[in-house]
Structure 1
Amino acid sequence: MLKFTRYNDYEKFQTDVLPFLEKHEAENNLPIGVLNSLTEESTIYLMATISKGEEIVIVLLQTHPKQIILSKPPKMADDDIAEIAELIKEQVEDIPGLIGQRDFTEKVVKMINNPHFSVHMNQRLYILTSIKKVADHNGELRLVKMQDLSVIKQWLYLFCEEIGEKISQEESEEKAIELIQRARLYAWVNEDKLVTMASVSRPTKNNICISYVFTPIENRKKGFASNCVSALSQLMLDKGYKTTSLYTDLDNPTSNKIYMEIGYEPIMDSILYRK
């Protein structure tokens, strides 16, 4: 018999679920990173666990209006997955979407049997422990500064448009300012010009995620993105992280190939369903 437990206190939730999530730190970098960033002012739609006896088997966390994060699942029988799907269906009044390990999430969505769900993003999670392909000398990595805002806010707008997460120009400027102020955003600079950007996010005890990798069309196919990600990954390792991780779009074989050449190795496929 599985049990669904809903939380209202994020500090209690964090205390209860972090030890479980950190058993698979890289695979759970999304829920851990989101969880570590929560404050009393954060918008939190759902915090819950599904347990078998005294053991947590799934953590559910929703801070995004369109999706609930599912933690990496343990190996389990289809009967247990069916029970998990039924519990989610019963306990969550309106399921906007689900993101998690692909095979498990596909089964849960199929068992929930909502005809409005469709695949929004099909991704692969990679992890890196050491660099295989170092950045060459066609530029250098540097921290993005507020003086770069006019370029970066437009790149963020275009990046979100490309991945199907459209935002307004105002939202892209707000996000750019936030990333710059938090010293999370880096750029590859060639001949004194910004040509590619990448960000770091969701730091955990041993891992940090590379995200917002974007190169404008006119700068593509010149090796800039590869150099930027390689140099930024090495910088994070130098700062003391044991690993870096990133998500790729499985429908983009070029980016998957580039990241594997740098030294990233696949550890989990992830899928996002939304209505």
Structure 2
Amino acid sequence: MDAVVHPDLASFDALAHDRLAADPVRNTVALTALDRARRLPDPDLPPTLLTFHDRGELVGTLIRTPPWPAQVADLPLEAVDLAVTALRKADPDITGVTGPHERSEAFATAWDERHRVTMSSRLYRLGALEPPPVTGSSRMATNDDVELLAAWRTAFSREAVPDAPVLSATELVRSSLRLGNGHALWEVDGIPVAWAAASVPMAGMTRVAPVYTPPEHRRHGYGAAVTAVISRWALDRGATDVLLFADLANPTSNSIYRRIGFLAVEDWTEHSWKP
């Protein structure tokens, strides 16, 4: 088996785009990350892009869009050692990996036996959407809401993903709106009480993230309601696979998503070997 490190997205896409798009559920993270890299490139943080070939046949891929972990959803287990060797040369600064449990665990162990699990999550796919009966109404957020959403994004990151790279929440929200991603707000008496975002559909797939309800507004069903709204937004734009990840350490969110129609697909794990 051979590994090829690609110098740019054009080279990688020519070989791997159709492969990734053929399984948009498994490759959800790679597809959205690469879409962002194409449309909002950062020349200071180019992606790391690898393909794996067995006797001339493309059998897998691995990508990393700094400063995020390496993504190994499409990495064959038999290519793990080859991938580690190639990445130690091409991208030695990586500090983590994410993907379906077996693949991410194998990669993390091969890279550094001292790795630790920083997130265990379950990937869900929407079946039949069942919006909950909840007091209030929804609207789509605009640039006028950036300040609020940035504050909520910061609060979400601190609570749900404290090990994630620290980035400008304001720029994350603004760039997401520029990409055409949907941002839904749930309001009660004109006051925003919950927020959910979703990527613009690609290859029939959209992924919902983040979903956030401030602590003072929880236990009223607002998070479920706004998740249903943004899921409907995605369906209306042609999505056939509406996905989301739920933290396995949060049984409440998992039960909420199941109640509105999401079905479990597979478990993912993120590992880190940061000091």
Class of the TM-score when normalised by the shorter of the 2 chains: 0.7 to 0.9
Structure 1 gap segments, 5+ residues each: none
Pick aligned residue for 1:49 from 32, 44, 51: 51
Structure 2 match to 1:179 = 176
Summarize the alignment of residues 229-248 of structure 1 with structure 2, pairs less than 5 Å apart. 229-248=227-246
Summarize the alignment of residues 28-107 of structure 1 with structure 2, pairs less than 5 Å apart. 28-39=27-38, 41-42=41-42, 43-73=45-75, 81-89=80-88, 92-107=91-106
Displacement after TM superposition at 1:104 (Å): 1.4
1:178 counterpart letter in structure 2: S
Summarize the alignment of residues 160-171 of structure 1 with structure 2, pairs less than 5 Å apart. 160-162=157-159, 163-164=161-162, 165=164, 167=166, 171=168
Structure 1 match to 2:108 = 109
Q: Separation in 1 of the partners of 2:52 and 2:265?
A: 24
Q: Separation in 2 of the partners of 1:166 and 1:5?
A: 27
Deviations 1:55-79 (A, max 9, x none): 23331111122411123345x5xx5
Q: Does 1:152 align with 2:154?
A: no
Displacement after TM superposition at 1:251 (Å): 0.8
Displacement after TM superposition at 1:118 (Å): 1.8
Q: Separation in 2 of the partners of 1:84 and 1:61?
A: 11
Structure 2 match to 1:134 = 131
2:252 counterpart letter in structure 1: T
Distance change >3 Å, CA 229–CA 98, structure 1 → 2: same
Whether the 8 Å CA contact 2:67–2:165 is kept in 1: the answer is no
Displacement after TM superposition at 1:32 (Å): 1.2
Pick aligned residue for 1:122 from 120, 123, 141: 120
| Higher alpha-carbon deviation: 265-274 or 254-263 | 265-274
Displacement after TM superposition at 1:245 (Å): 0.3
Whether the 8 Å CA contact 2:196–2:212 is kept in 1: the answer is yes
Percent of aligned positions that are identical: 22
TM-score (norm 1): 0.87
Whether the 8 Å CA contact 1:72–1:101 is kept in 2: the answer is no
Report how many residues are paired. Answer: 267
2:102 counterpart letter in structure 1: D
Displacement after TM superposition at 1:125 (Å): 0.9
Question: In structure 2, the residue corresponding to 1:64 is in which secondary structure?
Answer: coil
Pick aligned residue for 1:204 from 202, 205, 208: 202
Whether the 8 Å CA contact 2:97–2:271 is kept in 1: the answer is yes
Deviations 1:127-156 (A, max 9, x none): 11321x223251222111333333222111
Q: Separation in 1 of the partners of 2:132 and 2:208?
A: 16
Question: In structure 2, the residue corresponding to 1:57 is in which secondary structure?
Answer: strand
Displacement after TM superposition at 1:106 (Å): 0.5
Structure 1 match to 2:264 = 266
Whether the 8 Å CA contact 2:21–2:27 is kept in 1: the answer is yes
1:118 counterpart letter in structure 2: R
1:190 counterpart letter in structure 2: V
TM-score (norm 2): 0.87
Displacement after TM superposition at 1:28 (Å): 0.3
